[in-house]
Amino acid sequence: MASERDPEGSGEGSGKSTFVFAASADPGSLDPAFASDGESFRVARQIFEGLVGVEPGTADPAPLLAESWDISEDGLEYTFHLKEGVKFHDDTDFDAEAVCFNFDRWANWTGLAASESLSYYYTHVFGGQGDNGKYDSCEASDAATAVVTLKSPLPELVPALSLPSFSIQSPTALEEFKADEIGGAEDAPELSEYATGHPVGTGPYEFGEWKAGESVTLSAFDGYWGDFGDVQNIVFTVIAEGTARRQALEAGDIDGYDLVAPADVDALKGAGYQVLDRDPFNILYLGMNQAQKPLDDPKVRQAIAHAIDKEALVAAALPEGTEVATQFVPSTVSGYSDDVATYEFDQEKAKELLKEAGQENLEIEFNYPTDVSRPYMPDAAAIYEAISADLEEVGITVKATPEPWSPTYLDTIQGSDKHGLHLLGWTGDYNDTYNFIGTFFGSQSSEWGFDDESLFKSLGDARYAPVDEQEAQYKAANEAVMEFLPGVPLASPVPSLAFTEQVQGYPVSPVQDEVYNVITFTE
């Protein structure tokens, strides 16, 4: 159906048609297949759509470009029944041939395009390109029916397809602008002409301009199949620092921003701004790298867990409504277990365990990031201060090692074993247990520094178990993780956004599936 909207975008007589949102950074890529960061996905969700969307206000999958799907009994064949009459922004037809073009594209990358740093989500969901992956084929049985065949079952395929990385893109534009021609090196790839200036999807907005370090602009797509509110134009303006984003809102330069600092919430509300909270769908944790002694000693890890006052940490450094964590998945995810080993705040117990381990005078490095706000970690320095004070109380001397988030901190934590304790976290991509604990502990990694094949196998077995058996197996896997205690899950913080009073109907989503065509403006 044609888009239904006021051509002037005037809403309730406001005369406003442009929505200005402050992003914390540039997108990494305008091609979401080569992206894994939140700012790229924020832009991509306006331009692109996938076969599968997200049920509003939840993390659960819902039909989007596919109106429905059937899954064979053996879990190997997915038949997607497609929405008809949909066009890409370049007037290419959306149909089963376009769907299969995209699936084949993802599966057949080579060279730099196939590297994990670029095709992160395809690699993690499908296992790799070509013969290494689970994807077998895609056939267009007719224009409105695409049949995807797998080599082996992949129970999380449907929710995974809600990720922007699996957006269906125009085959015409992908070929014309040489989307898969990647230059440079793996640690410094040079993206294609498509990924820097010609993204083409079926979404409500089409690409306008990207001024690196400044802004991305989009405009309403006249041929969009769905409905529109008042937003005819979007400007994502880049403001890296949280205080500067708040000041831009107060000055009237922007309509809204994400990652509101907990300390700013009351002042913004008092001044008449809207502060909207996402449901917590994340985990903040204290990692413990077992490649660095004595963190390989379970008693030392247990002592650290008992030393931390999570309730006080939440009260001092995290937003109101934050949930204290007992395990590495939020309470809303299937497989959450009420029977995990818990390590209650008990500093005397912590001291006893350190004594038993022969570590009464332990000195340990504590890495934490600077110059960053994440949904799970709004103020890393404040979190570090609270935890380090608890550790000092039980006799652990902390050596602070602050580093800039990008690229230094992540390279240190995930690319080497030269770190001790560290702060990090994860916001779920979709409602699937493996997306949390499998991401953390599915295989050996430099972040955690241990090799436990039995733990890795239990997670893999749960991932590929029949759907009706997965919950019990994931509960058992969560219990095994917390018995092993590779780190301390701390909390599931509530991420906040702030807007002027004029912005109405912002589609708050726990997985940030927030598309702006539903927004209206008041006077």
Give residue-wise pLDDT tens across range 172-231: 999 999 999 998 887 788 889 999 999 999 999 999 999 999 999 999 999 999 999 999
Q: Beta strand 233-238 with 18-23: parallel, antiparallel or unpaired?
A: parallel
Q: What are the structural domains of the chain? A: 16-47+204-278+495-522 (3.40.190.10), 48-173 (3.90.76.10), 282-492 (3.10.105.10)
Total Cβ atoms within 10 A of residue 238? 17
* Residue 410 Cα to chain centre, angstroms: 15
DSSP-derived secondary structure for 443-511: S--TTT----HHHHHHHHHHHTS-HHHHHHHHHHHHHHHHHH-SEEEEEE---EEEE-TTEE-----TT
Q: Beta strand 363-370 with 397-404: parallel, antiparallel or unpaired?
A: parallel
Categorize the per-residue pLDDT at 12 as very low, low, confident or very high, splitting at 50, 70 and 90.
Answer: low
CA-based torsion, 281, 226, 148, 129: positive or negative: negative
Flag whether pLDDT at 1 surpasses 70.
Answer: no
d(CA 64, CA 159): 12
Flag whether pLDDT at 13 surpasses 90.
Answer: no
Flag whether pLDDT at 6 surpasses 80.
Answer: no
d(CA 12, CA 124): 45
Please state, rounded to an integer, the average pLDDT across all residues of the chain.
Answer: 92
Q: Tokens 């790799």 appear where?
A: 128
Render pLDDT for 462-478 as a digit per residue (tens, 0 to 9).
988 888 888 999 999 99
Q: Which of 420, 414, 413 lies closest to 388, judged by CA?
A: 420
Categorize the per-residue pLDDT at 9 as very low, low, confident or very high, splitting at 50, 70 and 90.
Answer: very low
521: β partners: 503
Bond into 407 cis (ω within 30):
yes
Using CB atoms within 10 A of its CB, is residue 476 exposed (0-12), middle (13-18) or buried (19+)?
A: middle
Task: Specify whether the CB–CB gap between 511 and 328 falls below 8 A.
Answer: no
Task: Please give the sequence-ordered ranges of beta strands (E in DSSP) within 249-362, or none if there are none.
Answer: 256-258, 274-277, 282-288, 323-324
Flag whether pLDDT at 431 surpasses 90.
Answer: no
What are the CA-CA distances from residue 361 to residues 63, 216, 393, 397 (Å)? 57, 52, 12, 7
Categorize the per-residue pLDDT at 8 as very low, low, confident or very high, splitting at 50, 70 and 90.
Answer: very low
Work out the average pLDDT over 132-146: 96
Least confident of 12-16, 178-182, 222-226, 302-306: 12-16
DSSP-derived secondary structure for 20-79: EEEESS--S-SSGGG--SHHHHHHHHHH---SEEE-TTSSSEEESSEEEEEE-TTS-EEE
Work out the average pLDDT over 420-434: 93
At 281, which amino acid appears?
Answer: F
Categorize the per-residue pLDDT at 69 as very low, low, confident or very high, splitting at 50, 70 and 90.
Answer: very high
